Amino acid sequence: MTGVLPRTIRAIDTERLMFLEKEAARLGFSQRLSVGWLREHAAVSAVHYLFPALEHRLGHRPQVSPQWRCELLLTVRTGEEVLSLLDVLPARFQGLAETLDASEKAATAARMRTACSVREWVEQGRQPS
């Protein structure tokens, strides 16, 4: 185990999110969005948020284990926030700057609890055509 998951939320820009999603794809992580979908739907100049929810271990792939399965609050081009998951290497998450104060983290956590999932958002047909 890597110890206790950090109970913090990290804010990232779209460029950093694309990097993390590409890395997750390259490493074969199961919880990630398609880079093409993200390129099409993520708001380019938005801030997105990651919260480590659980530690995921792959006994058959120790070279990429553990991973932290993060909740991802993603801002899409319509301005809405939708919830997804993203597996991230612990060192990669810990390397992200801590930029939010306690009140910003609390407000973000509240939005995460009420946001619809990417799947629900797509099924509702709310994505731009």
Among the residue ranges 45-54, 56-65, 72-81, the one predicted with the least confidence is 56-65
Cα–Cα dist 103/46, whole Å = 19
Q: What is the pTM of this model?
A: 0.90
pLDDT in tens, 66-104: 889 999 999 999 999 999 999 999 999 999 999 999 999
pLDDT over 90 for what percent of the chain?
Answer: 74
Side by side, which strands form the sheet with 67-75?
A: 10-13, 47-56, 67-75, 81-88, 116-117
Q: Does the structure show a pLDDT above 90 at 2?
A: no
What pLDDT sits at residue 56? 78
Residue 7 confidence (pLDDT) above 60? yes
Q: Residue 23 above 50 pLDDT?
A: yes
SS3 40: helix
90 near 68, Cβ under 8 Å? Answer: yes
Band of pLDDT at residue 127, cut at 50, 70 and 90 = low
pLDDT for 25 equals 92
- Residue 102's pLDDT is 96
In order, the DSSP letters of 48-96 are EEEEEEEEE--TT-GGG--EEEEEEEEEBTTS-EEEEEEEE-HHHHHTS
What does the buried/exposed string (b/e) look like for 99-117 if buried means 16 or more CB atoms within 10 Å of the residue's CB? ebeeeebeebeeebeebee
